Each structure stands twice: as structure tokens, then as C-alpha cells.
Chains A and B, each alone.
Chain A
């Protein structure tokens, strides 16, 4: 058994004896804390915590956290860290006065990301996403959700989700995958959006489900993207797949 002791913690934050599964409303202002605390970890799990008066005397590894806080890692439930290239040029366009929607209408935005992603290999995509994952872990993230949605073709959506699967396999933190085929209507479907929605429902979703590539089904429901009615069709189709 390996163990790690963090001692002399100024404040141990979000340390609960009575487990909660969700905090709502006025309760959100209460955060259980222990001042002058220790935290004992055995193997990979939390074994004990409490006031320094009750701190175990020794452990294989000891960290002194004097003057410092200890928190549970952030749980980041919404990201798109698999992408082929940055969009710095659009940032400058927005500084000059264009809106996000105007940029999208000109073929920028999500469609720009999709064009770039289609010509990048799965390995290159993985490397980029892996670097971003390392970066956010260093900023305290300890669980993460990652979406597809820059593929917008059957092959590219599957490519993205396979990258997410590789992240899951290699990552030291849990990774959840969301299928976001309905992130935007691709240019070639501009005048026949129904056909794209059919592609998402009849071709993408069954493959994604068959290969077990996603935990959730996402849709960008908003003006200029997918209507509530279109969203509902896709979500109902998603519910059918185990």
C-alpha cells in the first residue's frame, strides 16, 4: 500500500463528512472546510482527513502545505479541446467589429475549425489535445468532458471521437465524451439542412453508438444553428442508442 500525507493545511476546502451529490440555491454559499488540517491518501483514494491534532505521525510521502489551501480538483464539464488550429484571425476580426454570428455566416467559426480538422491526421489531433489536457491538469482540472463537433462529416466526427477515446485511455483524469455532430450545418448542406440532420441521425449516431465512442449527445440549439424542433429530433434519436 502506498500512502501520501498532506499536513499543516491552512484550509482544507470542500471536505465533507456527510456526502452531498449536488448543491443548490442558498446551500451553494456553504462550503465545508477544515482549518489547520491534514489529508491522508492511501493508494488512489482519500483515506482520512481532519484537524492537525489528529494527524497521523508518519507516511511514505509527506507534503507540508503550511499557509496553503487544498481543494478537490476542478470538474470541467464542457470543453472542445480536440481541434486542429487556433482561430486568432477571427479574434482580430471581432476586435475590428464583426460579431461571432457574422463571422460564422462568412464561413468562419465552427465551419472554419471543421475545414482545418478534416485535413489533419488523428495522431496530430491527439498530440494537440493531449497538450491542452496537460495544460489544464496543471491548472487544477481533475475531471473533464470533451466534445466532437469540428468534424461535421461521418469520418471526421469519428476521427475526433477516437481521439477522445485515446485521451480517455491515456489520461490520468476521467474523460467523458460528447457527440456534437449537430454543432453547425456544413456549407455544402446550407440549402438542404434536413439532409444533414438525417446524416447525423441515420449515419453518425448509429456508428458512434456501435463503437461506444460517446457518453452524451450534444446539439448547438441556437439561432443560426439548430432549432428546438431539430434539436429534439436529434436528442430523441440519441436516447435510442445504448
Chain B
């Protein structure tokens, strides 16, 4: 056991970050705005997770990562916020999910999987978090009234989360 790699890769170009992450058994390679078929092929033969940060692509005006091609190739996709003062000064996961749907052509179901269970896996927390399953920690949220799941990414920028329950207690 050591400090497992979890790295920033391919944000600014096809620079070999994905390859070096996979070669060193990274738990995830994050960003991937610049991803070609070569990187997708490398990821297919690994357990390293591609983590996409569409809030950064939005705020910097750089290309969005090719989530659709990754999923079509059979890869898992993780979504995260990249909340930071320079390239993404927002930590809003509802906005990330909206961007994933509107700009990366992820279905609402795909975006929710990427931002819950797959996100938990990218932090090695999937045993206790990331889905609603008997025995897991009860961290859940309640939305405002809506007709369907698509209502969540659809209402981008709106306050869609009405109440939060953490460990079974209202927050």
C-alpha cells in the first residue's frame, strides 16, 4: 500500500497524461478535455477511471471531454466539480450534471450514475456511499417538485435541491 495516484491529465493537450496514469495504476485520470482514440484504448485495458470536469471546460472555454465516445467504447465515466479559484469557481454538482447532459450529450441517467456511484468509486467509498442500498450510509437529498429525473439537469442554475439528509439527520 502507498499513496495511490489520482492525477490531472490531458486538460491542455494530448500530452501522455492518461498513459502515465494508467501505467502507474492511477485510481483515476481527471480532466481529459483532450482525449483521442488512443487514450480511450489505453483506458479500456485498465481499471483507471476517466473523471470529467465539465465545469472547468465551461469556465475556461476549452473543449468538453468526449464522454459519449468513452461510454460507447464501454468505459465508465465519473463526473466531478473541480471547484477551485482559477478554472472552476463553482462546486455545484447540479450544474455539473446539467453541463454533462447539455454539452457532453450524457443522458440524465448516465450523468447521475457518473456523479454518484462512479464518483464514490473514484474515492474508494462505493461500499458505503453512491447509491441507495440497504446498509449504506443515508446521505441523500430531496429535490423540489419535478415531473421526472430529466427535470434535474433541465433546470440548470436553479435551486433543485430542496432538503439534505446526512447520516439520517436533516441537515
Contacts and interface: CB of A to CB of B under 8 A. Distances in A.
A207 to B, nearest CB: 12
B123 A25 contact: no
A225 B87 CA distance: 15
7 contacts: A6-B140, A16-B132, A23-B76, A48-B134, A100-B12, A174-B128, A239-B2
A165 to B, nearest CB: 15
A100 B87 contact: yes
Interface string B134-152: 1111111111111011011
Contacts of B170: 4, 61, 63
A3 to B, nearest CB: 8
A199 interface: no
B135 A45 contact: yes
Contact of B116 (A24, A71, A214, A219): A71
A228 B16 contact: yes
A87 B152 CA distance: 30
A122 interface: no
A76 interface: yes
B86 A113 contact: yes
B20 A235 contact: yes
A142 B139 contact: yes
Nearest to B82: A78
Interface of A: 2-4, 6, 10-17, 19-26, 28-31, 33, 39, 41-49, 61, 63, 65-81, 83, 85-87, 90-91, 94, 100-101, 109-110, 112-113, 132, 135-143, 145, 172-174, 176, 178-179, 205, 208-209, 214-225, 227-228, 231-232, 235-236, 238-242
B6 A13 contact: no
B153 interface: no
Contact of A143 (B2, B28, B51, B125): B125
A32 B129 CA distance: 15
B23 to A, nearest CB: 7
**Interface of chain A, helix or strand or loop or mixed?**
mixed
Contacts of A87: 85-86, 89
Interface in B97-150: 107, 109-110, 112-146, 148-149
A6 B53 CA distance: 32
Interface string B1-38: 11111111111110111011101101110100000000
A2 B168 contact: yes
A221 B131 contact: no
B118 A44 contact: no
A214 B21 contact: no
A44 B17 contact: no
Interface residues of B, number: 105
A33 B131 CA distance: 11
Contacts of B76: 22-25, 28
A6 B142 contact: yes
B85 A75 contact: no
A25 B6 contact: no
Contact of A76 (B119, B136, B142, B161): B119
A235 B161 CA distance: 38
Contacts of B42: none
A70 B86 contact: no
Given A44-B168, A73-B116, A78-B81, 8 more contacts: A14-B132, A66-B145, A72-B129, A73-B141, A75-B116, A87-B89, A145-B6, A222-B15
A222 B9 contact: yes
Interface string B34-76: 0000000000000001010100000011100000000111111
The 4 closest A-B pairs by CB, nearest first: A75-B119, A142-B139, A80-B84, A25-B74
B7 A221 contact: yes
Contacts of B7: 218-221, 231, 235
